[in-house]
């Protein structure tokens, strides 16, 4: 995470220096100005990351509080229809890193095999690994359970 932050700040720094000729300042002033802008930008990005990490922690906590309710609503894996057992996993339909929440409508139970093969992938990316028939069966099962089917996928929030 440190490297993209540094790269983004460095790019901004370069941009500011590229415009140096349009400002009525000495080279030293321009460099100091660019450094300050870079610092402010870096602080903003870090603040957003902190906010995002607080938000995602809240979503994981919320999901844990919803776990029993989500489990109680299902007897079979939503992806492959195998009966659920003690090794089943709770799955975020839209992963939290893609903006998914810990609300019941974003949580399903899946067998360990399906959950591990989904492995935090975007919902539609995971569905691409299935045949068209299986895709529509999964969608139907999700709809029946009242789940929210992602209509688009956000980029992971920790990428710049």
Q: Which residues, listed in sequence order, are joined to residue 109 by a DSSP beta bridge?
A: 90
- 96 versus 110: smaller Cβ distance to Zn ion: 110
Q: Return d(Cα 62, Cα 35) in angstroms, integer.
A: 40
**Residues 114, 127, 138, 142: which binds Zn ion (CB under 5 A)?**
114
| 111 half-sphere exposure, CB direction, 13 A CA radius | 12
Q: How far apart are CA 98 and CA 46, in angstroms?
A: 18
Candidates 79-87, 94-102, 129-137, 150-158: pick the segment binding Zn ion (CB under 5 A): 79-87
Nearest approach, Cβ of 139 to Zn ion (angstroms)? 15
Contact 91, 109 (CB under 8 A): yes
Shortest Cβ distance from residue 122 to Zn ion (Å)? 18
Residues 34, 93, 111, 142: which binds Zn ion (CB under 5 A)? 111
Residues of this chain that interact with Zn ion (CB under 5 A) are 77, 79-80, 82, 111, 114
């Amino acid at each position: 995470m440190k490297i993209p932050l540094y790269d983004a700040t460095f790019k901004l720094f370069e941009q500011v220096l590229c415009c140096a000729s349009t400002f009525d300042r000495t080279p030293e002033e321009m460099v100091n100005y660019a450094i300050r802008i870079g610092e402010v930008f870096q602080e903003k990005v870090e603040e957003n990351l902190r906010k995002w990490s607080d938000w995602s922690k809240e979503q994981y906590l919320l999901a844990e509080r919803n776990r029993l309710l989500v489990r109680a609503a299902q007897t079979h894996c939503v992806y492959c229809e195998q009966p659920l057992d003690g090794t089943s996993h709770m799955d975020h339909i839209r992963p939290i890193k893609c903006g998914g929440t810990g609300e019941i409508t974003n949580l399903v139970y899946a067998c360990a095999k399906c959950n591990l093969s989904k492995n935090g992938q975007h919902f539609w990316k995971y569905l691409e690994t299935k045949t068209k028939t299986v895709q529509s069966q999964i969608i139907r099962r999700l709809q029946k359970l009242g789940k929210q089917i992602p209509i688009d996928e956000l980029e992971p929030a920790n990428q710049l």
